[in-house]
Structure 1
Amino acid sequence: MSTSKRSTVALITGGNRGLGKSMALHLAARGVGVVITYRGNAAEAAEVVKEVEAKGGKAAALALDVASTRSFDAFVEAVKAELAGRFGRDRLDFLVNNAGVGVHASFAETTEEQFDALVNVHLKGTFFLTQKLLPLIADGGRILNVSTGLARFAFPGYSAYAAMKGGVEVLTRYMAKELGPRKISVNVLAPGAVETDFGGGAVRDNAELNKMIAAQTALGRVGLPDDIGGVVAMLLSPESHWITGQRIEASGGQML
């Protein structure tokens, strides 16, 4: 007698565009149900859901501002409702903390407002959203935090952004240690430069910048969203369960 494999569900913050969208589509292609969040563009999020469903998958989209910790309790209740109503589940298997904003400003010119905005989204948001969602994450599940190659190599103008991501990388190790008793693995993925609209789309749209980065990358080009989406699907696959507390950089060998 054959037994059906239990379906899995992933929550991806900032899944309506760019890297998050690619993550959602790659996971859905492997049969993972996806709940994506968006901050303001509901139409974009709806298109991602439509694309997943057109290929036979299950998806849902929920509004979320990861900088607003006051909204997290209501968001958790919305996740519970989607899990029960759309997926027939009461637990998440995977959480991908992907949502983010970019600020390009020199160290000398970075304002306190810019700094606080980055703290709230990347560090405080990741910390407390994960904390609120912990009761919904299944034992044996996975958490994947998203960092940046800029936490390893330095480009002027990204000191505050990279500092937040450095904090996320340290936080990841602590989460892996403390959640280990529940068999939840926690890792951090650090993309290199990728052609998206992040930070105004400079890497994608500025030909000179794109060429310069490609020349500094071992594989000879700038990354594409599917490069990262594929890595996320790999890191959340059953075969990767023994990896935890690790920083995985997906940059094509940038700045080696």
Structure 2
Amino acid sequence: MGVLTGKTALVTGAGRGIGRAIAVRLAADGALVAVHYGSSRAGAEQTVAQIHAAGGSAFPVAARLGEPGDAERLWAGFDRGLAELGAAPGLDILVNNAGIPHSPGLTEITPEQFDEIFAVNVKAPFFLVRAGLDRMRDHGRVVNISSGVTRVASPGIVAYSMTKGALDTFSFTLAQAVGGRGITVNSVSPGIIDTDANAGWLRGDPRARQRAAAYSPMNRIGQPADVADLVAMVVSPDARWLTGQDIDATGGAVLTG
């Protein structure tokens, strides 16, 4: 039996990349995983199939984030999925991973683009948590996927960085608000990760890969599983005394400046 056997988890944006890796890892640890997706049903079904092939349990949940009523639609799909499986209602682990991964720069971003990235990256997880707290069992876990860019000045992606800074503030404030129920809330902040979202500049240019790897003193680029394993640690029973923290998942990029 895994350390998460008997637990139910929801991972947003789990159809690919970091979200998929997190969903697969939590399922491997025994959790029943709700695999959320916004537009790519095929990606979510691939994640579910991968989990099932490994002997785990999962089901897809659809909801486009950043739109009116997104939280209500997501939770309705979550509740329906549990009922169809005959699983007990309720939630133990929520991982807010879904988000727009980049933004135009300081002088290029439009008001519409600014509003969209904040709606998806900040507003959606905020109201998803608020609508989901009644479902969360005591001693549950909330993990917000932030970013290492909150520690550096990045004018080229400033709006994206701002959304992740807001998510960090949400994490430690929420930790204080729900701590009385034994619920922990933490951020996990990846650095450069080899995902489809970074494929355009990272996978086709050996020099770009070399520069990206050099940010870490271990001289390699992060993989989705590196982040997933940290999330698994944070939601495990052993992390019951860890809350209100931002967990660095940059491979030590902060050390090299």
TM-score, normalised via structure 1 length: 0.94
- Equivalent residue, structure 1, for 2:217: 218
Letter in 2 for 1:215: A
Q: Any residues of structure 2 matched to 1:177-196 within 5 Å, and which? A: 177-196=176-195
Q: Any residues of structure 2 matched to 1:74-89 within 5 Å, and which? A: 74-86=73-85, 88-89=87-88
Secondary structure at 1:106 match in 2 = coil
Superimposed CA distance per residue, residues 42-96 of structure 1 (whole angstroms, 9 cap, x where no aligned partner): 1111111111111111100111112124132232122112223325111110000
Secondary structure at 1:135 match in 2 = coil
Cα deviation, residue 122, structure 1:
0.6
Is the CA contact (8 Å cut-off) linking 1:33 and 1:87 kept in structure 2?
Answer: no
CA distance in 2, matches of 1:191, 1:87: 35
In structure 2, relative to structure 1, the CA distance for the partners of 1:18 and 1:67 (3 Å cut) is: same
What RMSD in Å do the two structures reach over aligned CA positions? 1.5
CA distance in 2, matches of 1:71, 1:126: 10
* Structure 1 segments unaligned to the other structure (5+ residues): none
Cα deviation, residue 33, structure 1:
1.1
- Equivalent residue, structure 1, for 2:56: 57
- Equivalent residue, structure 1, for 2:121: 122
Q: Any residues of structure 2 matched to 1:152-191 within 5 Å, and which? A: 152-191=151-190
* Structure 2 segments unaligned to the other structure (5+ residues): none
In structure 2, relative to structure 1, the CA distance for the partners of 1:129 and 1:206 (3 Å cut) is: farther
- Equivalent residue, structure 2, for 1:11: 10
Superimposed CA distance per residue, residues 179-200 of structure 1 (whole angstroms, 9 cap, x where no aligned partner): 1111110000000000001255
- Equivalent residue, structure 1, for 2:31: 32
TM-score, normalised via structure 2 length: 0.93
